[in-house]
Amino acid sequence: MKKVSRSSLDACFAAIAASQKLYLPVADGEKKRGAKYAPWFEGAVYSTAVNTVRSAKDFFFPQVEKMTRFKMDGKQIEVEDIRKENEDFVIFGVRACDAASFAILDSVYLSDPVDSFYQNRREHGLIMTMACGKPTETCFCSVFGIDAAEPAGDISCWMTEDTVYMQANTEKGEALLASLPMLEDAADDAAEETKAAIRQVLDKLPLKDLSTDAFGGDKLMKLFDSDKWNSLSEACLACGTCTFVCPTCQCYDIRDYDTGHGIERFRCWDSCMYSDFTLCAHGNTRTTQMQRFRQRFMHKLVYYPSNNNGTFGCVGCGRCLKSCPISMNIVKVMKTLGEGNE
């Protein structure tokens, strides 16, 4: 375990940023809506807000990503592989829920056949997580077995009034900590008091007793056929906000763009909440918003666990609770469907 005084944290950031790109949460504009990740700059102020409005998935699965370029010449086509080795980068301040979401994205993108675009970013990114000092009432990561006091990542950090403790969990993390001269050695149990304090807060969160008993791969047909989906989805606007802010939503579209001197193929986030998502030559397999709404939540609570040894596809970050314009969200879905269904 290493430590650095909070007054030296900026020097620590500067030292990391001297050799590679460093991203950290900063206040999001004047409206103080929350935090957003930004590249570190001289004078950047690390925001301790829980959590960033957008998740950290952008770093590995960006909203838009160029994949290939094509040159068209009469009947001929030339394929240009425009992939480049990514540069090394560090993300500081990732919360436990988002760190857990990377494992979920990994299970999709790193399974055979490996998605080399994602893998490239993943291999070059180093994750420094920050334990949550002040979890909010929309947080429910503990429901999915995530411990906000013990976040994963290459390096885990804990913050007190005056000190930041850092613990390397991987060789990559170890090497980075070793390269920072302002760090001092700390006792291995130096963060225990902080962890205990965090767990006390976690224990008082309003959503901590949310039950997952009614969900999982073995409940597939029962939940799919539930008549509660109709009332749950009735007011959904199909805006897709919940899918875009979600750290584990992984769906994408592939599109072509004519640049004027060639065709660029790119991929971008897509949403199962949209009506044309499954539009197909012989019709549409999901014609109603109820079906699309059901897909999103069935995927997180049933289909994903079915294919991943029971791990749920939600990390309880609470973003969909904060951002849905009609205040619908996965917690309401779980409560409603769970009733009398355990």
Ligand X SMILES: Cc1cc2nc3c(=O)[nH]c(=O)nc-3n(C[C@H](O)[C@H](O)[C@H](O)COP(=O)(O)OP(=O)(O)OC[C@H]3O[C@@H](n4cnc5c(N)ncnc54)[C@H](O)[C@@H]3O)c2cc1C
- Which residues touch 262 (CB under 8 Å, ≥6 apart)? 69, 70, 71, 72
Q: Binding ligand SF4 by CB under 6 A: which of 82, 238, 254, 268?
A: 238
Residue 273 binding ligand SF4, by CB under 6 A: yes
Please identify, using beta-carbon distances, which residue of 156 and 241 lies nearer to ligand SF4: 241
Q: How far apart are CA 61 and CA 53, in angstroms?
A: 16
Of the candidate spans 72-80, 213-221, 243-251, 275-283, the one that interacts with ligand SF4 by CB under 6 A turns out to be 243-251
Residue 239 binding ligand SF4, by CB under 6 A: yes
241 binds, among ligand SF4, ligand X, another protein, none (CB under 5 to 8 A by kind): ligand SF4
Q: How far apart are CA 212 and CA 200, in angstroms?
A: 22
Please identify, using beta-carbon distances, which residue of 80 and 184 lies nearer to another protein: 80
- Which residues touch 46 (CB under 8 Å, ≥6 apart)? 9, 13, 24, 25, 26, 92, 93
Residue 132 binding ligand SF4, by CB under 6 A: no
Enumerate the β-bridge partners of residue 333. Answer: none
Type of residue numbered 289 = Q
| Binders in 188-217 for another protein, by CB under 8 A | 217
Residue 318 binding ligand SF4, by CB under 6 A: yes
Q: How far is the CB of 72 from ligand X (least distance, A)?
A: 17
Q: How far is the CB of 2 from ligand SF4 (least distance, A)?
A: 31
The count of chain residues that interact with ligand SF4, using the rule CB under 6 A, is 25
Residue 186 binding another protein, by CB under 8 A: no
Q: At what angle do helices 96-109 and 116-124 cross, to 10 degrees?
A: 140
Q: How far is CA 289 from CA 90, 221, 240, 284, in A?
A: 40, 19, 11, 12
Q: Binding ligand SF4 by CB under 6 A: which of 152, 328, 333, 334?
A: 328
The two tokens of residue 253 are 């579209």
Pairing of strands 76-81, 163-168: unpaired
Q: How far apart are CA 320 and CA 284, in angstroms?
A: 26
Q: How far apart are CA 82 and CA 254, in angstroms?
A: 16
Q: Binding ligand SF4 by CB under 6 A: which of 56, 223, 320, 334?
A: 320
Q: How far apart are CA 274 and CA 281, in angstroms?
A: 17
CB-based contact 60:102 (threshold 8 Å): yes
Residue 109 binding another protein, by CB under 8 A: yes
Residue 221 binding another protein, by CB under 8 A: yes
Q: How far is the CB of 229 from another protein (least distance, A)?
A: 12
Residue 139 binding ligand SF4, by CB under 6 A: no
CA atoms within 13 A on the CB side of 45: 7
316 binds, among another protein, ligand SF4, ligand X, none (CB under 5 to 8 A by kind): ligand SF4
Site string for another protein, 139-158 (x = CB under 8 A): --------------------
Q: How far apart are CA 234 and CA 152, in angstroms?
A: 38
| Binders in 271-300 for another protein, by CB under 8 A | 272, 277-282, 285-286, 291, 295, 298-299
The closest of 21, 17, 49, 19 to 33, measured between CA atoms, is 49
The closest of 212, 244, 211, 215 to 324, measured between CA atoms, is 244
Residue 149 binding ligand SF4, by CB under 6 A: no
Q: Which residues bind another protein (CB under 8 A)?
A: 67-68, 70, 72, 75-79, 81, 83, 85, 108-109, 111, 113-117, 119-120, 217, 220-221, 224-225, 250-254, 256, 258, 263, 265, 267, 270, 272, 277-282, 285-286, 291, 295, 298-299, 302-304, 306-307
